[in-house]
Chains A and B, each alone.
Chain A
Amino acid sequence: MGSLKPVGPAAQDAGFLATKADALVNWGRKNSLWPMPLGLSCCGIELMAMIGPKFDISRFGAEAARFSPRQCDLLIVAGTLTWKMAQAARTIYDQMPDPKWVIAMGVCSSSGGMYDSYAVVQGIDMLMPVDVYVPGCPPRPDAVIDAILKLQKKIERESPIRDLTQGRNEGDESGTGVFDMPPNDAVATSRIGTFLDADSEELA
């Protein structure tokens, strides 16, 4: 039950439970996450395995994957996000009702991964706030389950009642917006230099 504890033996006998509203709300939220699977590449396969019976995230109350963002509160970005797909991903995030959380599954969505290229978003945190990053290419389903457990601990620390009364939920919903790639001329020149055979007229 985590932070939900009966206060003293007297309360237990009386059949009621005294707790903080925050703890009650957080307890409800963390144990019924509704994932929105955004499977973009091979990570999507591991995500399916995680939802399936062998790894079974229903043990942690997060098995009800819905394919409408309106019915979800946990966006799992699983795979390589290209700039062409970026608008769609951000739209999905915007369409999810509050409160919502984001897991960046795999190195591609965390940092661009091995796709150090013009076509790939170098980390989805440029577009949206991320709660948990999962390394791996792809990560094993256990690693993503661990991310969900970490996210549950994170949700436990939230203050939903204060957010509600003080309007704290309207925080910064944007990503870092930083697209700062290091100059990588070494890759551009040396690789082409070795691949191109200057003597061959017909590469084709």
Chain B
Amino acid sequence: MGVLERIAAVRGTEGYTAVDARDGTPCVRIEASALPAFALMLRDECGFETNTFVTAIDRTEKRPVFDICYQFLSLQHADRVRVLIEVDAADPRVPTIKDLWIGASYSERECFDMFGVAFEGHDPLERLLMPEGYEHHPLRKEFPHHGIEPDRLYREWERTRSAGGKA
């Protein structure tokens, strides 16, 4: 039984839209508010034990939206499902799923770091890859190739150090 049939057997066909992904992975689109219930259903009733990744897709070249993209892996059924949530690019926020898959915690931090997506309920939401105190989100389309003042934090630290302060 395929992924979409399993989901339909549990929850019917209401509240989500199946979309075609280019690589053939079963893919559904839901609303942000529906995520906690939908994710719990995927984990407990459809057998998706693993969250593979959480990321975002910047679609602002066409419309001012981000797609938040979740992929889940079911080891018992040997298949995957992808969940897409469209959010406003000016204020991207979705509920967290780190209480359902603890491993999603790092993925959400990375997604926050790179795209500035706020994961509500993930507290504190800290950067994962970029230095603490960095203000920009590098994987957004608006972010220039060479970055925005990539050396600023280091220079501030260096000024403190050379002024004799505790670095």
Contacts and interface: CB of A to CB of B under 8 A. Distances in A.
Contacts of A187: 145
A118 B154 contact: no
B130 A87 contact: no
A83 to B, nearest CB: 5
B104 interface: no
A179 to B, nearest CB: 5
A181 interface: yes
A185 B145 CA distance: 8
A10 interface: no
Given A87-B167, A200-B22, A118 B150 contact: yes
B167 A202 contact: no
B109 interface: no
Interface residues of B, number: 31
Interface string B69-81: 1000000000000
Given A181-B146, A204-B67, A204-B69, A87 B157 contact: yes
B153 interface: yes
A142 interface: no
Given A118-B150, A119-B138, A184-B146, A202 B27 contact: yes
Interface in B119-160: 129-131, 138, 141, 143-148, 150-151, 153-155, 157-158
SS of B interface (majority): loop
Interface residues of A, number: 29
A119 to B, nearest CB: 7
A116 to B, nearest CB: 7
A119 B129 CA distance: 9
A83 B27 contact: no
Nearest to B127: A84
A169 interface: no
A188 B67 CA distance: 22
8 contacts: A116-B146, A118-B147, A118-B150, A179-B150, A181-B146, A200-B22, A204-B21, A204-B69
Given A86-B154, A179-B150, A183-B146, 18 more contacts: A83-B154, A86-B151, A87-B167, A90-B154, A118-B147, A118-B150, A119-B147, A127-B154, A181-B146, A200-B22, A202-B19, A202-B21, A202-B27, A204-B27, A204-B57, A204-B67, A204-B69, A204-B82
